[in-house]
Amino acid sequence: MLTTLERQLDRIVLRPARKCELGACCSVGGTASGEGPIEQVRSFWDLDAATYDNSASHNPRTALELAAWAGELRRLLPPPPARVLDVGTGTGFLALLLAKQGYQMSALDLSPAMLARLQEKAAGAGLEVKTFQGDAAEPPLDGFDAVVERHLLWTLPDPAAALAAWDRCAPQGRLVLLESLWGGTAGPGQRLRRHGHESLRRLRKEAPDHHGWYDESVRAQLPLSDGATPEQLVFLVESTAWGAARVVRLRDVEWAARRSMPSVLDRALGVTPRFAVAAR
């Protein structure tokens, strides 16, 4: 009998790779709004762009957190001025942090509003980031030294196809996936922690992290929409041309995030475990 993990891996890896699965779905259905899944994903993030950075988990702001992220990234990436592509860059947390360290940054995202926000921030900080609007599975083929992503994989219809495309745009380069344990795959302990933080946030009358959530019909087409374990991601990476994977727990980032939390109760609940899966 298949275990849940095996069934999920089947969905991630063993499905035949199609060039644009969402596109295929668009042509057979769409929704009452007339939008197909890819347009729904884009619209979701276009709407989210205005408030995305208000969340401390999306946009760590304290000097300690930024320094911890910078340190972890330097250990995982080739040294600057390497050419790095940040896929699903959003408002550019990674792209801007790396540009500040002297990396030559390119950033790709489906959402024009997210990219506009990134460009606004880059201009404000006097940093240069080359932006591309489009699908993660169709990156610019620029021979990058590294490809990075943070919290993109869960929203891709075919994560294995995207990883294969990233390998083609960095054939000699490095892969760094920055992820955390969340959603149904995180287990009951993490879910309790998350509920605790959400209750505290509501008590403080703070807005939620996002303006809404994906439609169930869209989520059903995203194999990792409930999060992914490190085991699943190692299996996924190793099933592609990237080959042998390494896992690094991002303890400095966790430590800095915990110290930067707004209350003693938040600090007592602790932080979401974060990790990187790297290859080459």
Ligand X SMILES: C[S@@+](CC[C@H](N)C(=O)[O-])C[C@H]1O[C@@H](n2cnc3c(N)ncnc32)[C@H](O)[C@@H]1O
What counts of helices (H) and strands (E) characterise the chain?
12, 7
Contact 91, 117 (CB under 8 A): yes
Does 88 sit near ligand X (CB under 6 A)? yes
Q: Which of 21, 45, 106, 228 contacts ligand X by CB under 6 A?
A: 45
Q: How far apart are the first and last CA of the chain?
A: 34
Shortest Å, Cβ 75 to ligand X: 18
* DSSP-derived 3-state class of residue 108: strand
- CA within 13 Å, CB half, 66: 12
12-41 residues in contact with ligand X (CB under 6 A) are 41
Q: Single out the segment in contact with ligand X by CB under 6 A; choices: 75-83, 147-155, 197-205, 238-246.
A: 147-155
Contacts of 34 (CB under 8 A, 6+ apart): none
The nearer residue to ligand X, 41 or 77, going by C-beta atoms, is 41
Shortest Å, Cβ 111 to ligand X: 4
Does 122 sit near ligand X (CB under 6 A)? no
Does 152 sit near ligand X (CB under 6 A)? yes
Backbone φ and ψ of 70, nearest 5°: -60, -45
Shortest Å, Cβ 230 to ligand X: 18
Does 155 sit near ligand X (CB under 6 A)? yes
Size of the site for ligand X (CB under 6 A): 18
Residues 28, 25: Cα–Cα separation, whole Å: 5
Structure tokens at 233: 């991601």
- Considering all CA atoms of the chain, what is the largest pairwise distance in Å, rounded to the nearest integer? 56
Shortest Å, Cβ 155 to ligand X: 4
Beta strand residue intervals within 4-137, DSSP E: 83-87, 104-109, 129-133
Structure tokens at 211: 């303006």
The nearer residue to ligand X, 59 or 239, going by C-beta atoms, is 59
Does 139 sit near ligand X (CB under 6 A)? no
Does 180 sit near ligand X (CB under 6 A)? no
Q: Which of 151, 194, 219, 267 contacts ligand X by CB under 6 A?
A: 151
Does 222 sit near ligand X (CB under 6 A)? no
User: What are the residues binding ligand X (CB under 6 A)?
Assistant: 41, 45, 58, 88-90, 93, 109-111, 114, 135-136, 150-152, 155-156
